[in-house]
Amino acid sequence: MFLSLSGPWLLPHAAAAEALVQSINPEQPGIVEIDLSGVTHLDTAGAWLIHRLRGHCEYAGARVRFDGLNERFRVLLDEVEAHHPPMWKAKRRKLSLTWLAETTGRQIVEVGKDAVAVLHILGTLGAVIANIIVHPSRLRLVSVAHQFDRAGIGAIPIVLLMSFLIGAIITQQGGFYLRQFGADRYAVDLVGVLVLREIGVLLTAIMVAGRSGSAFTAELGSMKMQEEIDALHVIGMQVTEVLVLPRIVALMLALPMLSFFADLASMAGGALVSWTYLGINPQNFLQYLRAAIDFQTLMIGLVKAPFMALIIGLVACVEGLKVRGSAESLGLHTTLSVVKAIFMVIVMDGLFAMFFAAIGI
């Protein structure tokens, strides 16, 4: 079988050339000679079509031979042939003890690398803070204020709404079950102690991790992709001082404030449900609440907030600096940032609970 190609095989003529390639059907296995001496112009699109024609003939069992190929075009055809993508094959994983052990080992190694990265950022922060103590003018107060406005003040509405609903739900559920024993008034004690010691700061930290932590990771990751962080290194500026420290300081200031507002909103939700569902008016609610809690109960929750904020900021910044040059990497590390931050916040809350129980408060 003899084929002769002529004219310009360029992108503007790709539609007509593709229709021509699809219309060719080798009748029987043999040798197919393709004469390319008449091809006047060739670009990547045309080279791919010629490559597809060759593959179509070879798939039918024929042997393809090019004649009259211009040396200028041979390089392009060779590059197309060399970079032809392989057929996609689905990866099949067989569940076995070997696969489970390998996966577990890889995850442990990744956890170790994350711990080293967090410690590296933490150590760098310590050095930067020591430098700022000596030279206070190096602290970028404008950047801290900007981040505080975004992470703290901007998060107040959603924190108030969620905390109000959580306080109302805890009071309603507690009153529903305690009413069976004639102890529905202790729903006030339940919501007061539970929210101030645990739920208020924990839910606030989780919301901040999902809202501000993901934003920190996305911002730093985007700067890493656009090589802005490399530019900071080139001009002699420390990334930790310029980008990481203002965010962590702002978060450590914002989270205690948000936790306090969350406690107030939860108490307001509990008071509303106690009045409408349990028949406890606001005055009695405040009396029962004053008898159940004290200043120490409030401080137990607020003391946790700066440490949780530090964990959220460190994890978010570490994941942002690990982003590589693709949108997929940015999305992956943003997701990992939220998941890891929430996990570490819950672990830290458990450690604080054991610590306070050990010292008897």
Provide the mean pLDDT of the chain: 85
237-243, long-range: CB within 8 Å, 24+ apart, which pairs?
238/124, 238/128, 239/321, 240/121, 240/124, 240/125, 240/128, 241/128, 241/131, 241/132, 241/138, 241/140, 242/140, 242/143, 243/317
- 333 pLDDT more than 80: yes
pTM listed for this prediction: 0.70
What pLDDT score was predicted for residue 182?
80
> In the structure, what pLDDT confidence band is assigned to residue 254 with cuts at 50, 70 and 90?
very high
- 26 pLDDT more than 70: no
- 228 pLDDT more than 90: no
Tokens 């004649």 found at: 67
172-179, long-range: CB within 8 Å, 24+ apart, which pairs?
172/273, 172/277, 175/273, 175/274, 175/277, 175/278, 179/278
What are the tens digits of pLDDT across the range 231-248?
888 888 888 888 889 999
Distance CA 12, CA 14 (A): 6
What pLDDT score was predicted for residue 346?
93
- 293 pLDDT more than 90: no
What pLDDT score was predicted for residue 255?
93
What are the tens digits of pLDDT across the range 321-330?
888 878 888 8
Taking every pair of C-alpha atoms in the chain, what is the biggest distance, in angstroms? 100
> In the structure, what pLDDT confidence band is assigned to residue 72 with cuts at 50, 70 and 90?
confident
Query: Is residue 1 a contact partner of residue 27, using CB atoms and an 8 Å limit?
Result: yes
What pLDDT score was predicted for residue 84?
63
What pLDDT score was predicted for residue 158?
92
What pLDDT score was predicted for residue 161?
94
- 155 pLDDT more than 80: yes
- Which range of 37-51, 171-185, 304-318 scores highest in mean pLDDT? It is 304-318
What pLDDT score was predicted for residue 88?
62
Q: Please state which of the ranges 28-32, 40-44, 327-331, 335-339 shows the lowest mean pLDDT.
A: 28-32
What pLDDT score was predicted for residue 139?
85
> In the structure, what pLDDT confidence band is assigned to residue 85 with cuts at 50, 70 and 90?
low
What pLDDT score was predicted for residue 180?
83
Q: Which domains does the chain have, with CATH numbers?
A: 2-82 (3.30.750.24), 124-358 (no CATH)
Give percent of the chain with pLDDT exceeding 90.
Answer: 25
- The packing angle between helices 295-321 and 214-225, to 10°, is 20
What are the tens digits of pLDDT across the range 258-281?
999 999 999 999 999 999 888 888
Around 229, how many Cα atoms within 13 Å sit in the side-chain half-sphere?
19
What pLDDT score was predicted for residue 78?
79
> In the structure, what pLDDT confidence band is assigned to residue 33 with cuts at 50, 70 and 90?
confident
Query: Is residue 341 a contact partner of residue 202, using CB atoms and an 8 Å limit?
Result: no
What pLDDT score was predicted for residue 296?
86
